[in-house]
Amino acid sequence: MNKYNYQDYLDFNLKISDLNGISSLLQWDQEVFMPKESMNGRARQIAGISGIIHDLYTSQYYCDLLNNLENDISLNKTQKLNVKLSIKDLQRKICLTKEFVEELSSAISNSYAAWEEARSKKDFKIFSPFLKNLIALKKKEAEFIDKSKEKYDVFLNEYDAGLKSSELKIIFENLKPQLISLLDQIEKKEKIDISITNKSYPTNKQWDFGIEVLKEIGFNFNSGRQDISTHPFTINIGEKDIRVTTRIVENNLNEMIWSCLHEGGHALYEQGLQSKTYGIPEAESCSLSIHESQSRLWENHIGRGLSFWKLNYKKLQDLFPENLIDIELNDFYKIINSVSKELIRTNADELTYHFHVIIRFEIEQLLFQDDFNVDNLPEIWENLYFKYLGIKPENDENGILQDVHWAHGSFGYFPTYTLGSLYAAQFYEHAKRNIENLEQKIANGNFSELSEWLKSYIYDKGRLYTSEEICISSTGESLNSQYFIDYAKKKYGEIYAL
């Protein structure tokens, strides 16, 4: 007889997920509504709930429960898969001592504060010693987690199970020359004038348009909502409660539209996952790469596509006639797809974006080499930007200090952005092959077949399959960057008449 059954496992994980949702609500509120003087109290509340979750999650009870279920022959295949992943998750958690977790967490807090100061003073040297310390700790962490793997690969796996830097290298090496050639051709063409997007777009009208777009693509406002925050994000607050935020800038039409569609794509995935049993791996997202594929599919393949604007451009013109009445649909389409080599990753277009990622990937591999000197980073950064994009940052703020990821101890995160784009291109191409006249349907506002396709091939898989497995089952092959290249060549070939 087993001491525990599958229902105990479900109950326990529901409890943990409810508590994680509470932690998310505390963070969401902090970003969106919290009055500023409450910062200290809120930090304490978040730390308090984290401690409670940690104690419960690493309790002997749960360990016994999982050990018991591991050998429970009455479980079906799906149940076994869920339990197996939960065991892996727990092992990952308990391989680190409490002392080490606290040391790392404190190093991250200090490193974040130093990064903020360094950034405001545009001086990497302020951040440098903290980054060195953090990397030393992350090396230790990698050893605790899995001695048998390359350290950097350990972190890649945090975001995308099974991902290897050796495979990433091959993918990126294939991407680089083709993208460089495309960018070279575009550079020879006349620049697209995008000044129209910087006219005045009253924020309340932008907000209304964003809400309509979210409704259009299928975001369920009965189990989610949108608010405003400085940095747009998607967050899971609890069962049937997925929230997105957007940023609205009066003199920049782009901010709101793309953040709405990007976070909307993440949120559709999260809402789609909630048809499974809440709290266990089958109802969790597969990986950061697949998550990002969903945001980019909606942001780029739909949102920056001509069909979407056939459907929506008239509405946008009606909202802002003073700015857009004389701009034709085709010109608007070109404007929102203009390509330009810029210093800041988050402002980058669909093509140059990947060099921002490749540069960070190449640097991250160096960071985990034994003899690497962190002090050389600004110079390496500068050289790589010049090598790939022909531009150089004027200072550290526009260069090496622009992203928060490393200060937060997140290494191996950046590649998932590019993987997301590559997956998105592959998924979207296969969706088009599977759904008759998909582009026409989008132009008519009919997203239902695409939603169904995503649901059955991606959402419904939860975390029970790897990125690779989801890719093969939905497209018949492993990740193949040629889909993205073909998409880019066709789209930008037309826009720039290459």
N-term to C-term CA, the chain: 70
Binding to its own copies by CB under 8 A, coded x per residue (else -) over 191-230, reads: -----------------------------xxxxxx-x---
Measure the CA–CA gap between 255 and 209, rounded to whole angstroms: 13
Residue 144 corresponds to which tokens in the numbers above? 């605790």
- Pick the closer one to its own copies by CB: 278 or 492: 278
* Nearest distance in Å: CB 85, its own copies: 22
Q: Which of residues 431-470 bind its own copies (CB under 8 A)?
A: none
171 binds its own copies (CB under 8 A): no
25 binds its own copies (CB under 8 A): yes
147 binds its own copies (CB under 8 A): no
331 binds its own copies (CB under 8 A): no
Near its own copies by CB under 8 A: residue from 7, 37, 195, 476? 37
Angle at 474 between CA 472 and CA 476, to 5 degrees: 45
Measure the CA–CA gap between 190 and 497, rounded to whole angstroms: 10
Strands 224-228 and 234-238: unpaired
H/E stretch holding 246 reads strand 241-246
240 binds its own copies (CB under 8 A): yes
Q: Which window, 19-27, 167-175, 185-193, 330-338, contacts its own copies (CB under 8 A)?
A: 19-27
Near its own copies by CB under 8 A: residue from 4, 8, 10, 22? 22
Q: Which window, 236-244, 337-345, 367-375, 482-490, contacts its own copies (CB under 8 A)?
A: 236-244
* Nearest distance in Å: CB 320, its own copies: 21
Residue 302 corresponds to which tokens in the numbers above? 């739909």
Residue 320: which of 303, 332, 306 has the closest Cα? 332
- Pick the closer one to its own copies by CB: 41 or 162: 41
* Nearest distance in Å: CB 56, its own copies: 9
Q: Which window, 16-24, 165-173, 340-348, 446-454, contacts its own copies (CB under 8 A)?
A: 16-24
Q: Which window, 34-42, 80-88, 254-262, 328-336, contacts its own copies (CB under 8 A)?
A: 34-42
Residue 281: which of 458, 457, 463, 158 has the closest Cα? 463
- Pick the closer one to its own copies by CB: 29 or 403: 29
- Pick the closer one to its own copies by CB: 16 or 374: 16
19 binds its own copies (CB under 8 A): yes
Q: Which window, 156-164, 195-203, 239-247, 258-266, contacts its own copies (CB under 8 A)?
A: 239-247
10 binds its own copies (CB under 8 A): no
DSSP structure class, residue 198: G
26 binds its own copies (CB under 8 A): yes
What is the phi/psi pair of residue 460, to 5°?
Answer: -65, -10
Measure the CA–CA gap between 2 and 283, rounded to whole angstroms: 25
- Pick the closer one to its own copies by CB: 267 or 316: 267
Alpha helices in 285-326 (DSSP H): 288-296, 306-319, 321-324
* Nearest distance in Å: CB 329, its own copies: 34
Near its own copies by CB under 8 A: residue from 6, 9, 159, 278? 278
Near its own copies by CB under 8 A: residue from 4, 5, 10, 15? 15
Near its own copies by CB under 8 A: residue from 141, 153, 241, 282? 241
- Pick the closer one to its own copies by CB: 34 or 472: 34
36 binds its own copies (CB under 8 A): yes
- Pick the closer one to its own copies by CB: 55 or 379: 55
Measure the CA–CA gap between 424 and 296, rounded to whole angstroms: 6
Residue 422 corresponds to which tokens in the numbers above? 């590559």
Measure the CA–CA gap between 144 and 139, rounded to whole angstroms: 9
* Residue from 141, 158, 255, 263 carrying the catalytic annotation: 263
The answer to whether residues 111 and 130 touch, using CB atoms and an 8 Å cutoff, is yes
244 binds its own copies (CB under 8 A): no
Measure the CA–CA gap between 298 and 438, rounded to whole angstroms: 14
DSSP 15-32: HHHHHHHHHHHHHHHHHH
Rounded to 10 degrees, the C-alpha dihedral 33/292/263/381 comes to 60
144 binds its own copies (CB under 8 A): no
Q: How many CB atoms lie within 10 A of CB 277?
A: 16
Is residue 477 flagged as an active site residue?
A: no
163 in helix, strand or coil? coil
- Pick the closer one to its own copies by CB: 15 or 310: 15
Query: Which residues are designated catalytic?
Result: 263
For binding to its own copies (CB under 8 A), which residues are involved? 14-15, 18-19, 21-22, 25-26, 29, 33-38, 40-42, 44-45, 48-49, 52, 220-225, 227, 237-241, 278
